[in-house]
């Protein structure tokens, strides 16, 4: 896993400065387009282009099951992970519909669902195991399994880069993964289970209280991990969360902008940021999830969401919904006339 320590690419300051100067010349009052101006400037620097674009979108959905489901932390049965992967492949899931509408490249990666599906179009098989172990009892995965899951993310980012994607979106599917994600938030951002633990797939108040106790048990059991982000990922994480972590690190190393989805993907980003703080330059956050604790976590990370629509589906759906905002930011920047071109008087 030596590649984990390879440096992230550096945004191109020259193109950022060109974009900043152009924004001041477009036919509008200064900063009138608000965050859309910042998006275009950032993308120009990240993509090293005079005309930034978000037309070629690559979406990788990582799926994996969690042994901690045995502790009763989910309102849905574990079989739903495999069933939803089938739904992705058949085009019936939210992310499938959104990817089609965006003309995005969509791939599904089985990093370790409990019951493997047969090989088929659209499915990439890189299984680290038949689900993780129960993190309330033991480490969720071995070092070897962690390496396989991280490599699945590395490979996804490499495919996106080879396809000349303008932006990378990672999504996930895994019943029980809000428990794993919450443990990572609490362990790595020093946040409290009582305020971070949410309903996940739909737990009631009693279920949330029980889930909180399970998370506290996991944190106590693996407390020897200390501040070691990889150790926490192996002890509590899911294969899909590890794959997302690997994908984000490799995308930043390759100079590929990243659009984060919600609660689970941001937890993977936390791990990636602990390993490589420079990855922050490459992150855009699509939305603030309605899952309890997400707003607290993104505040701790200093991330600004593009949207707040009470979304909590996962799958990369929130990120896909935010893509048109990035596209409009680029279109406005690239196609608006300057004061000189339009023969409009500028600010006195």
Residues labelled as active-site residues: 315
**Which strands form 305-307's sheet, in the order they lie side by side?**
123-125, 105-112, 57-64, 167-173, 258-260, 283-287, 305-307
Cα distance between residue 119 and residue 226, in whole Å: 40
Which positions ≥6 away from 115 have C-beta within 8 Å?
79, 82, 130
Query: Residue 89: CB partners within 8 Å, gap ≥ 6?
Result: 108, 117, 120, 121, 122, 123
Query: CA nearest 238: which of 2, 75, 62?
Result: 62
CB atoms within 10 A of CB 100: 11
Buried b (16+ CB within 10 A) or exposed e, 7-34: ebbebbeebbebbeebbeebeeeeeebe
* CA 153/CA 275 separation, integer angstroms: 15
């Amino acid at each position: 896993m030596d590649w984990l320590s390879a440096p992230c690419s550096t945004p191109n300051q020259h193109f950022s400065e060109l974009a900043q100067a152009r924004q001041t010349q477009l036919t509008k009052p200064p900063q009138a387009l608000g965050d859309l101006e910042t998006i275009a400037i950032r993308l120009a620097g990240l993509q090293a282009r005079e005309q930034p674009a978000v037309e070629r979108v690559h979406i990788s959905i990582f799926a994996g099951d969690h042994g901690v489901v045995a502790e009763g932390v989910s309102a849905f049965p574990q079989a739903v992970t495999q069933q939803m992967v089938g739904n992705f492949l058949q085009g019936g899931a939210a992310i499938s519909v959104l990817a089609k509408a965006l003309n995005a490249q969509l791939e599904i990666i089985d990093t370790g669902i409990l019951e493997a599906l047969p090989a088929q179009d659209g499915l990439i098989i890189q299984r680290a195991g038949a689900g993780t172990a129960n993190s309330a009892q033991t480490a969720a995965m071995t070092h070897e399994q962690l390496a396989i899951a991280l490599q699945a993310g590395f490979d996804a980012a490499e495919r996106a880069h080879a396809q000349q994607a303008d932006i990378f979106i990672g999504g996930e599917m895994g019943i029980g993964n809000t428990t794993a994600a919450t443990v990572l938030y609490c362990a790595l951002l020093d946040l409290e289970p009582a305020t971070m633990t949410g309903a996940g797939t739909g737990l009631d108040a009693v279920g949330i209280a029980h889930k909180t106790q399970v998370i506290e048990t996991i944190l106590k059991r693996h407390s020897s991990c200390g501040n070691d982000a990889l150790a926490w990922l192996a002890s509590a994480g899911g294969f899909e969360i590890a794959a997302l972590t690997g994908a984000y690190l490799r995308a930043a190393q390759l100079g590929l902008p990243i659009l984060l989805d919600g609660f689970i993907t941001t937890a993977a980003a936390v791990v990636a940021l602990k390993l490589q703080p420079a990855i922050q330059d490459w992150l855009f956050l699509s939305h603030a999830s309605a899952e309890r604790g997400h707003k607290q976590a993104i505040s701790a990370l200093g991330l600004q969401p593009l949207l707040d629509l009470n979304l909590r589906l996962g799958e990369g759906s929130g990120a896909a919904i935010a893509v048109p905002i990035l596209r409009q930011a680029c279109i406005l920047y690239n196609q608006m006339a300057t004061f000189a071109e339009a023969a409009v008087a500028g600010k006195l």
